[in-house]
Structure 1
Amino acid sequence: MTDPNSPRPARRTVVKAGAASAALLPLAAGPPAAAAAPVFQHGVASGDPLPDGVLLWTRVTPTPESAPGSGAGPDLAVDWQIAEDAAFARVVARGTTTASAATDHTVKADVRGLRPATAYWFRFTAGGADSPTGRTRTASAPGDAAHAVRFGVVSCANWEAGWFSAYRHLAARRDLDAVLHLGDYLYEYAAGAYPAEGVRAHSPAHEITTLADYRLRHATYKTDPDLRSLHAAHPVVAIWDDHEFANDAWSGGAENHTPGAEGDWARRVAAAKQAYFEWMPVRPSTAGTTYRRLRFGALADLHLLDLRSFRSQQTTAGDGAVDDPDRTITGRAQLDWLKAGLASSDASWQLVGTSVMISPVAFGSVPAQLLGPLGELLGLPAEGLAVNVDQWDGYTDDRRELLAHLREKAVANTVFLTGDIHMAWANDVPVQAATYPLSPSAATEFVVTSVTSDNLDDILKVQPRTVSLVAAAAIQAANRHVKWVDMDSHGYGVLDVTAERAQMDYYVLSDRADRNATAAWARSYRTRSGTQRVERADAPAR
């Protein structure tokens, strides 16, 4: 189920077909487009599946002048259909909405009245042309004791750093209920800024700061065939992290934002959020953010967090401010919402989508020559105590409160699902890291690596599994709750949840710079129901 505070679409047109109904919500955005044909240049997408519905998305280009972010071009009527079969012989819902320049010619249809746990096919029609066909799936009904729920899990896809092969491999699977994107869906940097050498250039070429810029950057990403294939194959459940705005964003600014040169931060954030909700198959929740809740049968509640809109500014590691109770990463309202949802849920598992790592990590034992590259990955200070102040380590009072709540309310089977740091981790989340494992673990955490963004071997320009093995061994020695870390691979995860266990299967790509990169299973870790601890599994879930 969605968060009860989530608003229903304000403007809707309802068309019934059989027992189905749909609420239509037009929105906006755009990519580089030089010609009017085809009308559908950015594919189709679906997202935020419910037991009775799903959100559909596309963008149309009515004329050559209707380029993303241009604000130009005529209104265009867009029809949509959703059917029980790929041939559209059994259409169960249909409707019409309008794409306009005011919304950069993006449209959404919030379809309801569907059957739970069911695959559907959908398409759009405009200007005499049909869109590609998409496939989606509704969630299980709240009381449905389904055998399993399975998600693809991804984060950190830098357009310039490599090809999106991870998306292609996930798109080819037919055993996923949805794909969870944990943030950094795109990057805001100017072309050539990060990384310095890449396989393709960002558009626009400058750092994005305006509404037109963010729209064009989103549009550029959705010209990637592997990303379009992913969206056409599975519903995507997404949250944002910092690069959807600017690096190391917080509520009042960002490390990569200079007010004098780049304008007002609030205006930049408003532009980034508008473009995000125009271009992504995501329902905005309370206060127009991405924190919200979805239910997948009796097995899992998925609590999705926004850890950028409300957080205090990152502090300097070692000055004691990381423990200041007046500083927050969630904001009071969001933390209370999360705690209430965790305590009241009757689902077997509590899955928490968090864009940055909650497990505490000390880096003091890492060799000095590796602290610099690790700092670049993890946002560590250039000097002083090695604590990642951009993660929950920089906001320890919120973490203490949340973990204490899990213990006091006996909330079992909480699994944090995390991206951001371009590495794969499998962690227990200890109440007191210094005394673990004598002290208890309150939850577990699975961190997925990047789709393309630089990891340790990329930064050092060395062969994988050479110097990183030294750093990984040092981190595990100093952090006994860290059961595994891979600092070199690019890839994705597949999370399989049953009543008995939650298991993350980690897959790695052969080469991010190879457009035809292969994917191979690397490792699996699981947490058994009631244990709050991770253990290695011998094979991927079947």
Structure 2
Amino acid sequence: MKLSRRQLLIGASAATFAPSVAWADDGDKLNPRSIAVGDVGPKSATFWARGRREGRLLLNIADNPDFSNAREVWGPFTGADVDFTARLSLDELPWNQQVFWRATIDHDGDQGEWMVGTFRTAGPDRDVRFAWGGDTGGQGFGIDETRGGMRIFEAIRTHKPDFLIHCGDLAYSDGPFKATLKLPNGGTWHNIVTPETAKVSETLAELRGRFRYNHIDDNFRNMLTEVPVFHMWDDHEVKNNFWPGAPVKDIRYKAWNANALIGPAKRAFFEYTPIGGGRIYRNVKYGPLLEVFMLDTRSERGPNSMNEQPNYGFDTQWLGPFQRDWLKRTLRESTALWKVIACDMPLGIRSGGEKKKSDNATNGDGVPLGRELEIADILSDLKKHGVRNTVWLTADLHFAQATKYHPDDAVFKDFDPFWEFMAGPLNAGTGMLHPLDNTFGPNLEWASIPKGLPRHAPPSDGFQFYGIVEINAQTKAMAVRFFNAEAKELHVVNIDPVGV
């Protein structure tokens, strides 16, 4: 396994150490040590770890579980200023190989206990299997150890996916946990509650505590040792339905404007996720069969409104012009057969915001208006340049759905047919069915919940959903499968690629 001298020595001259260890806490369960890996490609990955003391990230990387002939890789210094987290991207890993790695926080030669993980790098001539979903810890449902914790992450792990795309709402910073919640069936939900999750999170320390909370759960932490995660964000990492400059009309907050929350929330989000680079929207080339494009519909969006503007401008931005143009360009340049576009929100399912103002891109039936103008521009550009085999994966509405978009059924017709698949929640309250917006011709094939299901049904009711995507290396076909938290398959859609 070849790693450059620069990578082996990264940060070596920059580290300085305090005379004594600074401990985050006494090492109890509520102050977890954890590891994760993300943005895995053929030869690259981003490694992440959290310890309980200041020191230097130390990795061992090997091609065997015994770590014989392991390479030693030093990472950055960590301490209280980054909540004892550290992240390191490497780009000279062996392709198409099972990688075994372990991490610790070294304090001046005292290495402490290793945390061990494994994953497989991308490569040609093999099947690809990955998971997706979103929405974790919402509607007051946190970790209930009497019910086995966040069991859906253990279900995902059992599929041994190459990676998981988490489409956002990794934490509900605006949703405090209570120790107990009375359920409609007479039962009780018992939450683990930490000081940071007992109130709305608005300071950097509180927001760090929000993202740290998931790592308390054994299912989540164990999954991370085997399943890389490609992270995105949505609104609840900051506040429900936020946009830059949005007023905060909530007496629970000291902040009066969302801008006071965005900075610390984004910092905590990056500190707690293995994202390569400093940008949420990005692409990961996963070999000849697949490239993943992850979007950010929050950072550059205009204000929520009735979303009926006829012309494109600042107030209609959803992605913003830079991200929109990046997406069109990178999709045109992609050489992968399948191009998966991961978006935190669905394209054609109507869901409102405050006083019926639109929080997503839809606005009702008819020609493209408001934020729909960006979507129309992207879809028509794909058709114009012959970009085929695009599939959209989303979350946000807390149920699963398979939707086929077709110009024959659309008001706007300048695009090629495509599929959109939605999954979630991953341990949160269940959503409710929403009407479709005919602008881009969505046709509902399947939904995971019945009409009339009470909104915010608890995870214990069984309406929790994730998706598994499989690409066959021989036939090149894609199968999209939906599962519940018991790992029971509920529905499958098979798609043959165009032009193969």
Q: Would the TM-score normalized by the shorter structure come out above 0.5? A: yes
Letter in 2 for 1:496: E
Q: Say if 2:200 and 2:252, in contact at 8 Å, map to a contact too.
A: no
**Equivalent residue in structure 2 for 1:299, among 284, 289, 300:** 289
Q: Say if 1:195 and 1:454, in contact at 8 Å, map to a contact too.
A: no
SS of structure 1 residue aligned to 2:386:
coil
Listed as ranges, the matches of 1:489-500 within 5 Å are 489-498=463-472, 500=476
- Provide the alpha-carbon RMSD of the alignment: 3.5
- The answer for unaligned runs of 5 or more in structure 2 is 16-22, 143-148, 183-188, 364-370, 451-462
Question: For the structure 1 residues 202 and 256, does the alpha-carbon distance in structure 2 shift closer, same or farther, using more than 3 Å as the test?
Answer: farther
Q: Deviation of residue 297 (structure 1)?
A: 0.9
Q: Deviation of residue 78 (structure 1)?
A: 3.5
Partner of 2:155: 169
The answer to whether the aligner puts 1:225 opposite 2:201 as a matched pair is: no
Listed as ranges, the matches of 1:75-224 within 5 Å are 75-125=54-104, 126=106, 127-140=110-123, 144=124, 146-158=125-137, 160-161=140-141, 163-174=149-160, 176-192=161-177, 198-203=189-194, 204=196, 205-224=198-217
Partner of 1:266: 259
Q: Say if 1:19 and 1:113, in contact at 8 Å, map to a contact too.
A: no
- The answer for unaligned runs of 5 or more in structure 1 is 1-14, 63-74, 363-377, 458-470, 510-517, 532-542
Partner of 1:525: 493
Q: Distance in 2 between matches of 1:490 and 1:343?
A: 35
Q: Distance in 2 between matches of 1:491 and 1:435?
A: 31
Aligned residues: 448
Listed as ranges, the matches of 1:406-445 within 5 Å are 406-431=382-407, 433-434=409-410, 441-445=416-420
Question: For the structure 1 residues 477 and 190, does the alpha-carbon distance in structure 2 shift closer, same or farther, using more than 3 Å as the test?
Answer: closer
**Equivalent residue in structure 1 for 2:362, among 393, 401, 411:** 393
Partner of 1:379: 352
Partner of 1:451: 426
Q: TM-score, normalised by structure 2?
A: 0.80
Q: Distance in 1 between matches of 2:360 and 2:438?
A: 21
Q: Deviation of residue 403 (structure 1)?
A: 1.0
Listed as ranges, the matches of 1:325-364 within 5 Å are 325-326=312-313, 327-358=316-347, 360-361=348-349
The answer to whether the aligner puts 1:484 opposite 2:446 as a matched pair is: yes
The answer to whether the aligner puts 1:241 opposite 2:234 as a matched pair is: yes
Q: Distance in 1 between matches of 2:6 and 2:264?
A: 38
Partner of 1:52: 43
Question: For the structure 1 residues 194 and 298, does the alpha-carbon distance in structure 2 shift closer, same or farther, using more than 3 Å as the test?
Answer: farther
Question: For the structure 1 residues 24 and 118, does the alpha-carbon distance in structure 2 shift closer, same or farther, using more than 3 Å as the test?
Answer: farther
Q: Distance in 2 between matches of 1:258 and 1:431?
A: 46
Q: Say if 2:383 and 2:415, in contact at 8 Å, map to a contact too.
A: no
Q: Say if 2:163 and 2:228, in contact at 8 Å, map to a contact too.
A: yes
SS of structure 2 residue aligned to 1:392:
coil
Q: Say if 1:137 and 1:234, in contact at 8 Å, map to a contact too.
A: no
Q: Deviation of residue 381 (structure 1)?
A: 6.2
Question: For the structure 1 residues 528 and 435, does the alpha-carbon distance in structure 2 shift closer, same or farther, using more than 3 Å as the test?
Answer: farther
Q: Distance in 1 between matches of 2:136 and 2:6?
A: 39
Partner of 1:535: none
Q: Say if 1:248 and 1:256, in contact at 8 Å, map to a contact too.
A: no
Q: Say if 2:131 and 2:156, in contact at 8 Å, map to a contact too.
A: yes
Q: Distance in 1 between matches of 2:69 and 2:97?
A: 14
Q: Distance in 2 between matches of 1:23 and 1:528?
A: 45
Question: For the structure 1 residues 169 and 361, does the alpha-carbon distance in structure 2 shift closer, same or farther, using more than 3 Å as the test?
Answer: closer
Q: Distance in 2 between matches of 1:505 and 1:451?
A: 16
Q: Say if 2:177 and 2:191, in contact at 8 Å, map to a contact too.
A: no
Question: For the structure 1 residues 78 and 20, does the alpha-carbon distance in structure 2 shift closer, same or farther, using more than 3 Å as the test?
Answer: closer
Q: TM-score, normalised by structure 1?
A: 0.74
Q: Deviation of residue 233 (structure 1)?
A: 0.9
Letter in 2 for 1:390: D
Q: Distance in 2 between matches of 1:194 and 1:439?
A: 52
Q: Distance in 1 between matches of 2:354 and 2:298?
A: 19
Q: Say if 2:202 and 2:253, in contact at 8 Å, map to a contact too.
A: no
Q: Say if 1:58 and 1:107, in contact at 8 Å, map to a contact too.
A: yes
Q: Deviation of residue 93 (structure 1)?
A: 4.2
